[in-house]
Amino acid sequence: MNQQDEHDVVEVHEFYITGRDGIYNIEWPSLQVVARIDKIRENSDYEVKGEVIFTSSRPTSAGHLRQGRIILTSPASRRTMVKALEERDGTVDWDRTMEQLCVAVLARHRAGSPEVELHGDADVEADDKWLVQPLIQVGMPTLIYGAGSSGKSWLAQYVAVLADEGVSLNGLGVEPCPGQVLLLDWETTEKEISSRVTMIRRGLSLDSQSHIWYKRMDQGLAADIETIRNIVINRNIKFLIVDSLGSACMGEPESSEVVLRMYGALRSLNVSSMCIHHTTKEGSLFGSVYHFNSNRQIFEVKKSQEPDSNQLVFGLFHRKANNSKLIKDIGLQIQFNGPNGGVVFTRKDVGDTNLDEHQRIPDRIFNVLKRGPMSAPDLAEELQKTESHIRKELSNGVRSARFVQLKDGTGRYALRAREESSSEPSDRRFVRL
């Protein structure tokens, strides 16, 4: 201690530790010293390492004191940091201070989430909250996947603008976001994303400034999670867009370890998220099955665009839902040459586009029957399915009151949104659309 008399050393009194999720601040008010520790890692030998920064507002050592990586579980590593601190200010009992820091941080790190007792009396409706209905549940991840240039990123940026503004539109029910939106980008540039956000806002005739945060990413999400967590905490981020998952994993896409590590990092942020992903050449979800298992809602994107057209039509096909039903396919049209250089999104019925071939068979039957009654063999021929498959779907549709079989001896089926009279014989009841 710089050869100072031990009576000159300030005694350590109480301290306070704050923070969460691996980022902690420790303050000793009487010492006028603050420490911040993050990038905490524990290896297979249970050694816990972290990066710590000490700062001071003491008259004898104001400002930055020391920064370094220490092994919280190693007395030798602690002594090395204590010696470095004593060189800056010998009037503090740094040995005792370091002991308090290490013990407090280790306790927080190893405690994890506290255990809770479940009483079975939860408010189920209150827990089923949506940030963007029916796409994104509060605090949960949603996966949007599809082939390249299918409109996935445009959709994500459109949803980001709606969430930022708290605007519900085109069948997307948006709750006012209780915090900010953050877009993590491994695919493009700040300039391109900024231009797209501007065009989307012009298409919505929004005059005010947006408050969407952007970060260009060069490392995997798990490798850079402390940086992202700092942004989430400091910017009050509540909605995160990950574009795209292949780069966010930064490893072998078929590796369950790589994928689960990425989703573990994402989960630790405790925010709602939309994750963009690609397909294989065969059109299936790319990479480990844990991409499917780890997401709450999953939508596949299919596009339709004519050459040299300023319009892009894409469909969202619901492939997975947890604690909610699969919803009807969502169609959206993007008009790229809108007023003032804006991009305009409008809702489309997928059944009225050439994307209807990607719909479920019951929906494809519905689309055909909108044109008028048809028999099971004719439906099977038009949809290129077996007659037995079509009859099964028709039977299910009759039971659910979606379809009705006409009683005119022809064996034809029709839509049954409601029964109404027509000029046909009274036993031929169907809806004309």
What class, spelled out in words, does domain 360-415 have in CATH?
Answer: mainly alpha
- 129-354 and 360-415 share one fold: no
Residues facing 276 on adjacent strands: 144, 243
Q: What is the mean pLDDT of the chain?
A: 88
Contact 281, 296 (CB under 8 A): no
Count of CA atoms in the C-beta half-sphere (13 A) of 252 = 4
- Domain positions in the chain: 6-111, 129-354, 360-415
pLDDT digits over 308-350, tens only? 889 999 999 999 998 788 899 999 999 998 888 899 999 999 9
Residues facing 50 on adjacent strands: 70
Across residues 163-186, what is the average pLDDT? 91
pLDDT surpasses 50 at 429 = no
Nearest Cα neighbor of 216 from 241, 238, 235, 190 is: 190
Q: Which two tokens stand for residue 54?
A: 């000490």
Tell me the C-alpha distance between 26 and 104, whole Å. Answer: 9
Helices (H) and strands (E) in the chain, counts: 12, 20
pLDDT surpasses 50 at 5 = no
Nearest Cα neighbor of 402 from 418, 381, 421, 426 is: 418
Tell me the C-alpha distance between 293 and 101, whole Å. Answer: 38
Architecture of the structural domain at 129-354: 3-Layer(aba) Sandwich (3.40)
Residue listed under structure tokens 């945060």: 213
Across residues 257-281, what is the average pLDDT? 93
Residue listed under structure tokens 């209150």: 126
pLDDT digits over 202-222, tens only? 999 998 889 999 999 999 999
The pLDDT value given to residue 21: 77
In angstroms, what CA-CA distances link 321 with 96, 177, 298, 396? 53, 22, 7, 21
Across residues 88-115, what is the average pLDDT? 90
Contact 35, 25 (CB under 8 A): yes
